[in-house]
Structure 1
Amino acid sequence: MEWADDLATFRHAVRLADELGYDIVGVGDSPARAYEMYVSLTVAAHETRSATLTPMVTTPFFRHPAATATAVSTLHDLTGGRAMLALGNGGSVRRIVGRSPVATPHELRDYLIAVQAILKGESAHVDGFDTEPLTRTRQVPVFVAADYPTTLRLAGELADGVVTTVGMSIERVARKVAVVREAAEKAGRDPAAVQVWGFSFISVRATRAEANAEIGAALASDVALRLKSPHMRRQVPADLLPAVEEMERRYDVWDHTVGGKNAQLLEELGLVDLALGMTGITGSVPEVAAHLPLLEEAGLTGVFAALPPLADPLGTLRGLRAAAG
């Protein structure tokens, strides 16, 4: 969640999620379009009683590993232990600070190892220097946001868990879970001990068509921006490649509105089902309720519901809770 320009709405959404029994509330780390993440998490801490709070997600080089470890440890103390940390290779944040669009797998590994060491009260080697051990850190769970095989293996090898994008395609989910578990086993870890959480754009409406339209802009963004790497390109059916290329050419990076030009273009090009398979869960309460157990059977611990600009985000929170039972 992010509060952007409306703190009252953010407070209400966080409080509602906690009251409905959601296990985890995440706050985005995107200064390009939201306020400071750890301030937002502090606000969330005062609006919740049971939900675990986490960055969703923070990225290397935006903060020194010692700053990240101290911040999440402080959140742990403030909430009585209701804190975790999710790290990813980033996107807009890295562009804002003048670095490459994403961290390399090597950079993410180094950052993860450094943060984990500091959280344990140990020294870490960062940018050629050894940090001093800190005394007010806590060993909070550290997750890695991962979609590609290299980072999925990193999570399985070193992290407490992974957050990976999921949608209506159970086959995609099963493949990712298998990569994480294989890496954990190869590293001598118990594969079952590594949690695998999904991350999905979710809309729960009276019909799937209404729900698809509501998250169309978010789905269009994924199709236009996330399918360029060779790994992702190979997952696009050959008959849809021309449509994906057209989406990439015509995508408007400034349009994120419900029913806007990007959402309309996604439907016009026949790419809705492809996008849903990757990162969307939509439907009525019964339809979503039927899909969630399939994700669990594929190996997911739980699902993070991303709330992009929605006509009724609080309705989706209530509907998803009803679907989860």
Structure 2
Amino acid sequence: MPARLVPDSPAIASASPSLASSPLLGKSLDELTEWVTAQGQPKYRGKQLHQWIYERYARSLSDITVFSKAWRAEIADVPIGRSQLHFRSVSPDGTVKYLLKLTDGHIIEAVGIPTAKRLTVCVSSQVGCPMACDFCATGKGGFLRNLETHEIVDQVLTVQDDFGRRVSNIVFMGMGEPLLNSKNVVKAVRSLNQDIGIGQRSITVSTVGIPGQIRRLAEEHLQVTLAVSLHASNQALRETLIPSARKYPFTDLIEECYEYVNITGRRVTFEYILLAGLNDLPHHATELAEMVGGFQSHVNLIPYNPISEVDYQRPSDAQIQAFVHELEKRHVAVSVRYSRGLEKDAACGQLRAQKLAS
């Protein structure tokens, strides 16, 4: 039977330190096959190892009973790379928030968002976030480090195992700025696609915009959806909400988005959190339409999800619809996303590594 949501088994000291290895999670079938043959095992062990890691959710090599006891003892110190479940809370709408404890003791968040037809996982790419966006809880806690590839992939396996159903969609909209950890995020995308079987077009990578990094992502020739967090219709307003915008002019960001479309043929989604009285007025919609119109793009409006540190307000339904109308009459593709998990601080902009009342 597959292992369930339990902490990693403690590592057993090995008599052969030379066998110590980086975590196996995140490695491809070819890489795992190369690894097992380097240990003197037949090639077919690579496929068995791949199945037990990605399909049976093994948390320790000791779990893999198709391996001989002697070999399991020999490789017992090699980590698969699974996290520990630290805390789990469920919202009334069925959204599940997970606090996961990494091997160095740091805590990250992942969120499972189910519907009748889909299971979406919101994954983190960093421990904390250095971007310090004023409306976001994650940025209030500071930044500690980037996540490794296996720590990203683990979040998806955790949710898939817990729900007992396949994950269909991934959004890199959890803790952190993905394009400040591009190397591991790209590796994770490839693993999620090739090893777990999630289509790249069902994966969204969100960014507030890092100079040059959108272009670099385009050059990876992935088929993911790029979501750019604008949250403002002009440079001055954006700087008040996103401190990093001072080093990345609005026009330069939009130009890089144009390049992304030209290189990949994929449209760009622009995320826009609506803050009552601040960025949700008709003239803001007009400015936004002028900036993002004219190429393959889509505006995703997100009514503000409250956090305790600031007193921004969520706009009324009438204000939201008025903003939508202003964009639509200027032929901008637009939709409104009402975040799930609001009651358990699991919604967009609310993620932070702390326990909540169950």
Tell me the TM-score normalised to structure 1 length.
0.42
CA radius of gyration, larger in: 2
Write 1 or 2 for the structure with the bigger share of helix: 1
